[in-house]
Structure 1
Amino acid sequence: MNDPVSAQHKPRLTSLSHGGGCGCKIAPGVLSELLAGMPAAQPYAALMVGNETSDDAAVYRLNDQQALIATTDFFMPIVDDPYDFGRIAAANALSDVYAMGGSPIMALALVGMPINVLPKSDIAGILQGGAAICAQAGIPVAGGHSIDSVEAIYGLAAMGLAHPGHIKRNADARAGDVLILGKALGVGILSAALKKDMLDAGGYQAMIDSTTQLNRPGAVLGALDGVHAMTDVTGFGLLGHALEMARASGLSASLRQADLPWLPGVRQLAAQGVVTGASGRNWASYGDAIALAPQVDDTLRALMCDPQTSGGLLVACAPGVAGQVLDVFRSEGFGYATVIGELREGGPAVHVA
């Protein structure tokens, strides 16, 4: 079959999207307004997790030994390589299953592509990249749905399983818990630099390595006594997702900016003015709930609001098991995993020292 788009005239994938990766997410403040008119959910005895605390996935109890985890995630391109885009989008979608303490069992592909704009080989490459990540996770892409779209969109509807007693909600953190972050921050900054042709090969590889690394430790941490709550850091940035956990748990999160891990070159790029528009929208949505120390300047604030695509797990655990949690991360190759703060009694807010 002839392809209407020649390789010489194909556009960059990122040129087809007004925002890439999890930076496409609707700002949290706007999302709250949109959902405000939703009717109250009917009670379902088997529904363990719904949308009441903006958790990562829905969870439905099947029996005493199994709970079904269901989630969906999709977005526009964050990179220009089709195969890498597919891998990133798939890893990002599966992360929500791991963040609930479960293991994925199956996925369905969600595909929207500008058929007359992109070469069919590029579209096929996106699908192949997503399938490769699912194979790495040990699950099939068992079907899906596709449409002809103005912008390129790809993602998954993912399903997983966990023991009902191992589900980790974002609302179950306890006062005195420490906060551990599994991956380094700065994906949004690197993707912005890529669009501006300011990202070198090393920076690109660091971004790909981070965004395609499956958050497998979540399945192990779900079964670990002393791990109380988990979420993953994605489009609302570190501050936004820490705030969600604090609000859901009725606590206050205290973060130490000096302990935050950063991908290589991120802070230098941000100092040069390479920041995302989404970080500003994030701050506008939740900044009134964040207390920043005087040493936190505008650049660092933008970094902490930076949308992360396929970001790291944020784990709230008892101090006595923090070493075990870090061992789990490091045994899976998460070298940036580190303690970044703690949770305390108090109002639902985030404090950065």
Structure 2
Amino acid sequence: MTDTATPFPNAPAPSTPPAEPRLTSLSHGGGCGCKIAPGVLSEILRQGQAAMPLPPELMVGIETADDAAVYRLNDEQALVATTDFFMPVVDDPYDFGRIAATNALSDVYAMGGRPILALALVGMPINVLSTATIGRILEGGAAVCRAAGIPVAGGHTIDSVEAIYGLVALGLVHPSRVRRNADARPGDVLVLGKPLGVGVLSAALKKGRLDAAGYAAMIDSTTRLNTPGPALAALDGVHAITDVTGFGLAGHALEMARGAGCDIRLRWADVPLLPGVRALAEAGHVTGASGRNWAGYGAEVALPAAWAAPDQALLTDPQTSGGLLVACSPETAPAVLRIFRDEGFAQAAVIGEVRPAAGGAGRLQLG
């Protein structure tokens, strides 16, 4: 007879490992909603910027709050360098890794460049998250890099109180095809590549109010690489490109207006939105970053007389891995839309125009 008695009858029963917390519960803010508020950031940069000589090869630095630095290597190549990282915006570790990597690579595409390699930036609470969960985050990031045709060639890790993941992204662009956010011209029209509403969806998710369809729309948008960037930059009629991220559509349009010394008018009715976000915003599912954004730049925005609070929340909604915002000549707009749609951006739309400055330059008007 087989002896089935417990060899150590007085030993305690094996304990069940504690369940891991939701990723979003570990962060005070997720995705690009983690960004320092625009007004506070401007003050920090003013105080911390030391005067120093800049090399002539530096084509784009911090002077216009652009998406990436660009350094001219030779007559045919310029290096695009950027970094982006944040705390979880979703609970699925693989999806979090994909979103963070897509968002980081977007800055290279926004300059007109093609990524060539990435380095991982990883900060994890190793006493809270399992190595399997952390591994899934990194797998998600690596999958996006494979889709972009580049390796994750290294990186850096730390033990952190909050989960943090992102990339250093490097790319190449021909010097004549660098597209800054500051070169829009009066008469240009504005084309937005992705619909708005990621911040609203993430707020609803954190409160348990996002359904499966809303989550699917959020993941589809935030993991769609902004690959049209290089083809757009190759068009002579495209004058400026940026991507819409943590400061919302209003904040990044204002950066474009300030850099160009122009005003921008947006036709709010033409701005595409992700499905269901207006109803969620009306129900109060908005991020704290939306209010901080408005506090930072709201004085520079002229709103219509009849303007609802949910519209303001969507205008300032932080977009994690948002779409490209393109300033181009009106005759180039059909080609811009064709490039977007050929690469899977079906909701790309003309949403406004660039105007000569009226009074103080760099203002935004909603119509």
Q: Tell me if both proteins adopt one fold, taking TM over 0.5 as the criterion.
A: yes
User: Shift of the alpha carbon at 1:128?
Assistant: 0.3
**1:163 counterpart residue number:** 174
Give 1:36's aligned residue.
46
Name the CA shift for 1:15/1:251 in 2 (closer, same or farther; >3 Å).
Answer: same
1:339 aligns with 2:350: yes
- Residue matched to 1:15: 25
* Equivalent position of 2:238 in the other structure: 227
What SS class does the counterpart of residue 66 from structure 2 fall into?
Answer: coil
Task: Within 5 Å, give how 1:43-62 maps onto structure 2.
Answer: 43-62=54-73
Deviation at 1:242, TM superposition (A): 0.1
State the shift of 1:235 in Å. 0.2
Aligned to 2:316: 305
- SS for the counterpart of 1:80 is coil
Q: Is the 8 A contact 1:115 1:148 kept in 2?
A: yes
Aligned: 1:315 with 2:315: no
Quote the residue 2:299 is aligned against.
288
SS across alignment from 1:36 = helix
Q: Percent of pairs identical after alignment?
A: 69
3-state SS of paired residue (2:296) = helix
One of 68, 77, 90 as aligned partner of 1:79: 90
Letter in 1 for 2:165: Y
TM-score normalised to the size of structure 1?
0.98
User: In the alignment, what sits opposite 2:267?
Assistant: 256
Aligned-residue offset at 1:268: 0.3
Contact 1:259 1:340 in 2 (8 A): yes
The DSSP-based 3-state class of the residue aligned with 1:194 is: helix
Which residue matches 1:208? 219
Distance 1:310 1:74 in 2: 11
RMSD: 1.0
Residue identity in the other structure for 1:351: Q
Partner of residue 196 from structure 1, selected from 196, 201, 207: 207
What CA distance in whole angstroms lies between the structure 2 residues aligned with 1:23 and 1:142? Answer: 28
- 1:201-241: CA deviation from partner (whole Å, max 9, x where unpaired): 00000000000000000011111110000000000000000
Distance in 2 separating the partners of 1:88 and 1:190: 14
State the aligned residue count.
Answer: 349
What is the Cα deviation at residue 43 of structure 1? 2.3
Cα separation, 2, equivalents of 1:41 and 1:300: 42
Corresponding letter in the other structure for 2:61: G
4+ runs deviating over 2 angstroms: 5-8
* Structure 1: runs of 5+ lacking an equivalent: none
Shift of residue 299, structure 1, vs aligned partner: 1.3
| Higher deviation after alignment, 167-176 or 35-44 | 35-44
AA of the residue aligned to 2:91: D
- 2:29 is aligned with what amino acid? G
Report if aligned partners of 1:7, 1:119 keep a CA contact under 8 Å in 2. no
Amino acid at match of 1:87: R
Letter of the 2:273 counterpart: W
The structure number with the bigger radius of gyration is: 2
The one-letter code of the counterpart of 1:295 is A
In the alignment, is the contact (CA less than 8 A) between 1:6 and 1:119 conserved in 2? no
Report if aligned partners of 1:179, 1:317 keep a CA contact under 8 Å in 2.
yes
What stretches of structure 2 of length at least 5 have no aligned partner?
A: 1-14
- Pair 1:116-2:130 in alignment: no
- Asked whether the equivalents of residues 182 and 334 of structure 1 are also in contact (C-alpha less than 8 Å), the reply is yes
Shift of residue 7 of structure 1?
6.6
AA paired with 1:330?
R
Say which of 250, 255, 258 aligns to 1:247. 258
